[in-house]
Structure 1
Amino acid sequence: MSSTLDNPFFARLWTVMAAHETEAIRRLRRENLAGLSGRVLEVGAGTGTNFAFYPDTVTEVVAVEPEVRLAEHAVTAAAAAPVPVTVRTETIEHFTASGGEQFDAVVCSLVLCSVGDPQDVARQLFSLLRPGGQLRYLEHIAGTGGRARLQRIADATVWPRLFGNCHTHRHTERSLADAGFMLAAARREWTLPRWLPVPVAEFAIGRAVRPS
C-alpha cells in the first residue's frame, strides 16, 4: 500500500464539495471539535475544513491527508488556522507518531468510511491515544431498511470509485467498540430530508474514549 494517494478526479470533486458544505454539516463539524484540548491527531483532513473550528485550548494539530492535491489545500488552510497545524501527507496506516508520543484526542470527519480496513485503523487509533483520550467522530453510517439496501448497492458499484473509496454502509461505531473504545454521547443526525434517495443523508456523531 502506498503512503500517499493520487486521485485527481476525487480531489477536484471534494475541493468543490468542501467549499459548498451546508450549514448543517458545518454545525456538526463545530460540535465535533468543541471542548478539545492538548495535542490532536486529525485523520483525513481533506482541504482543512475543520481547521478554522478548533478551540484555542488545542495546543497542536497533526493533520494527516494522503491525497497530495487535497494536502496542498490543507497546508494553505493550516496557515490561517487559529491553532498550530502541521499537515502530513501519508495514509493513517503508515502514520507513526514522533517519538511514539500519544495524543490527547483524535478527530475523524468523513474519513473512516474510506479506509481500507476499518477494524485495523480503529485499533491503530486506539494505540495512538493516551489512556482517557477521546476519538471524536463525524461519519457516514450504515442505515436500515430501504436505505441500507441503497447503501449496499452504492458501495458495490460506482460510489467508492467516484468518492475516494467512500463506503456508505459501514458499522463504524461497532468497529470502534471492538477496538476497545467506550462509546459516549453518540447520536444520529440527518443533514438532508429523509425521503431523498441518497446513501449519505444520515451521519453519526459522538465520542469514543480510550479507557484509563
Structure 2
Amino acid sequence: MQDLSQFQHPRFARMYERLSVESERWGTAEHRRRLLAGLAGRVVEIGAGNGMNFAHYPPEVREVVAVEPEDRLRALAERAAGGVTVPVRVVAGHAGALPVEDGGFDAAVVSLVLCSVPDQRAALAEVRRVVRAGGELRFYEHVRSGSRVVGLLQDLVTPLWSLVAGGCRPNRDTERVIRESGLVIEECERFPFKPVPSTPSMAHILGRARNPAA
C-alpha cells in the first residue's frame, strides 16, 4: 500500500470542495465537457479530486479508474461516482506511481492536477506506461503566463501559493513538459480564464496528446 501522507491537505480540500462547485458555473463545466468529449473505452483519471469530471464522461467510456491521493477529496469522489451512469472506480494512489497495469487504458485524463504533482516528468512517464500505444492523454491545466513580467511574479508567489493551495505551483510550463515527455501533442488551445471572481485570471491549456508506438 502506498504512503499517501504527503498528499493530505485537509484545509485545502475543504476550500477546493467549495470553490470547485462555484467554478463550474463560471465556465469550468464547459471546459470539462470539451476535455472529455469523444473519449471511449477504458480511461484512467489522475488526480480525480472530488469527482467533478465524472458527470461529463461520454457513454462510450466503458470504465473510469479514478486515482486520488487526498483522503477527503477521494471520499467525495466516491460519492460522486455513485451518481453517474459511466462506471467509475475510485482508488487511492498518486500520479508518480499509478496503482494500475501497464498499457491497460485507451486514455488518461489530467485536469488541474499537473500544477500540484511533486514531479511532472514522473507523472507523465506513468501516463506513457499505463496508456496503450496509440492511446491519448487529455489535459486541462493552468500554466505559466506567456508574459515575462507575469511569469516572474508567478515565480515570486509560488512558494506561498503552494503552501496554502495543496502544493499547486502556478509557474509551471506544463505544455513544454508534456512535449518533452515523448507524448505527441496533437491539439493544444491556450486561453486566459478566471475560475471564480475572487481569483486572478490565469493562462490555461486544453488539448490532447498521443502516446506513440514504441
AA at the equivalent of 1:153: L
Contact 1:3/1:94 (8 A) holds in 2: no
Indicate conservation of the 8 Å contact 2:106/2:136, yes or no.
yes
Where structure 2 has 5 or more consecutive residues not aligned to the other structure, the ranges are none
Query: How far does residue 101 in structure 1 lie from its aligned partner after superposition?
Result: 4.5
Partner Cα separation in structure 2 for residue 101 and residue 207 of structure 1: 18
Amino acid at match of 2:71: V
* Aligned match for 2:123, one of 117, 121, 124: 121
Q: Work out whether residues 147 and 197 of structure 1, in 8 Å CA contact, stay in contact via their aligned partners in 2.
A: no
Q: TM-score, normalised by structure 1?
A: 0.92
Distance in structure 1 (CA, Å) of the matches to 2:174 and 2:124: 9
The C-alpha deviation readout for 1:10-56, integer Å capped at 9, x for no partner, is 11111011111143221111100000000000011111000000000
Question: How does 1:61-210 map onto structure 2 within 5 Å?
Answer: 61-98=64-101, 100-143=102-145, 144-156=147-159, 158-192=160-194, 198=200, 201-210=202-211
% same residue: 37
- Classify the secondary structure of the residue corresponding to 1:74: helix
Report the Cα offset of residue 131 of structure 1.
0.8
- Which position in structure 2 is the counterpart of 1:30? 33
Relative to structure 1, is the Cα distance of residues 197 and 13 closer, same or farther in structure 2, using a 3 angstrom cutoff? closer
Where has structure 1 moved over 6 Å in runs of 4 or more? none
TM-score, scaled to structure 2: 0.91
Amino acid at match of 2:50: T
Change in 2 beyond 3 A, CA 1:197/1:66: closer
Take 1:192 and 1:90, find their aligned partners in 2: how far apart are those partners?
29
Within 2, Cα distance between the matches of 1:75 and 1:91? 16
What are structure 1's unaligned runs of at least 5 residues?
Answer: none
Aligned equivalents of 2:41 and 2:178: distance in 1?
Answer: 22
Aligned residues: 207
Distance (whole Å) between structure 1 residues aligned to residue 11 and residue 194 of structure 2: 25
Q: Distance in 1 between matches of 2:58 and 2:168?
A: 28
Is 1:59 the equivalent of 2:66?
no
**1:94 shift after superposition:** 2.9
Secondary structure, in 3 states, of the residue corresponding to 2:194? coil
Q: In 1, Cα distance between the equivalents of 2:21 and 2:103?
A: 33
Match of 1:50 in 2: 53
In 2, Cα distance between the equivalents of 1:35 and 1:28? Answer: 14
* Counterparts of 1:81 and 1:87, CA distance in 2: 13
The counterpart of 1:10, out of the listed 9, 12, 20, is 12
